[in-house]
Amino acid sequence: MNELKLFSGTANPELAQKIADKLGVEVGELTIRRFSDGEVHARAGQSVRGCDAFIVQSCQTPVNEHLMELLVIIDSFRRASVRRVTVVMPYFCYSRQDKKLKPREPVTAKLVANLLTTAGANRVLTMDLHSGQIMGFFDIPVDHLYSGPIIADHIKNNIPLDNAVVVSPDVGGVTRARALAEVLGTPIAIIVKRRPEPNKAEVIELIGDVSGKTAIMFDDLIDTGGSIIGGADALLERGASEVYAACTHGLLSGDAIQRLAVSAIKKLIVTDTIPMPQGGDGKIAVVSVAGLLADAIGRIHSECSISEIFDKVWKARS
């Protein structure tokens, strides 16, 4: 009873296996199939009665398929009398729809929170939400992890920092970029832009000095790549010597990888919250968050503090 059991949906089984290896457990047997009309069916191949179940499932493209699959898995576990279901959702879908900006718009991030809770999730473990307010959409505990320390380590080991500046690609990401800049010991700059429509961005102004500096743009996610590529061009026009980019969630929709390959960005650093397809002409470096997620899962299972992970990690790097 109360045994830790780890399961994976179809969205990112590679990450689930890495987490399992870190924890020293096996990925549980879970059969997921689709009927001819597209309906999802899920069934654990072992007893989960009374166990502490963790389900690893990011919800990237196809978003609705992966989300519905996750809801079905949660429901099947709840009906199998698990003690607790923790959804390990490294990338939280619909996170950009977190507020109502125009009349008759939905707040879909809140809807997803409601769906997970109603399906039977007892707890959610996620990474780098698009905005912190999403945690308040839940009526169950949410543990929010940050990839900053992992990305900071990679940057320190691979990018010269003697004349570098961390750049927030928009005003909303200033807190995230400032935290990384403090760990790296660099100044910060901010790109001010406007979005005339979804997935379209125009640079209006740059706050801070990038002239002659190595610019490192840091964001929570990159989707089509238009904003980050446009930001890189704007930085070079304002005197930056070279531009790197980093993000937690590399959605890289459509032809984003091809566009990045021919862009001015020297290197893009992403984590494995979402599986990375091949390509990018060697410009994409992937760092794993498996160790961080495994540490958090172990702490949740043993009822230990999650915040201590970052208390000791940030102190060690600052």
Active-site positions read 193
Angle separating helix axes 148-158 and 174-184, nearest 10 degrees = 50
Taking residue 28's Cβ as centre, other Cβ atoms within 10 Å add up to 19
Measured between alpha carbons, how far is 215 from 213 in angstroms, rounded to an integer? 6
Measured between alpha carbons, how far is 117 from 263 in angstroms, rounded to an integer? 42
Measured between alpha carbons, how far is 87 from 40 in angstroms, rounded to an integer? 18
- Outline where the chain has alpha helix (H): 13-23, 63-79, 108-119, 148-158, 174-184, 226-237, 256-261, 290-301, 307-317
For residue 149, say if its preceding peptide bond is cis, omega within 30 degrees of 0: no
Using DSSP, state whether 58 is helix, strand or coil.
coil
Lookup: tokens for 64: 């609705």
- The answer to whether 290 touches 159, Cβ cutoff 8 Å, is no
Taking residue 277's Cβ as centre, other Cβ atoms within 10 Å add up to 11
Map tokens 């890495």 to a residue: 18
- The answer to whether 17 touches 275, Cβ cutoff 8 Å, is no
Give one DSSP letter per residue of 154-222, joined into a string.
Answer: HHHHHS--TTEEEEESSGGGHHHHHHHHHHHT--EEEEEEEEEETTEEEEEEEES--TTSEEEEEEEEE
Lookup: tokens for 259: 């566009």
Max Cα separation, the chain? Answer: 61
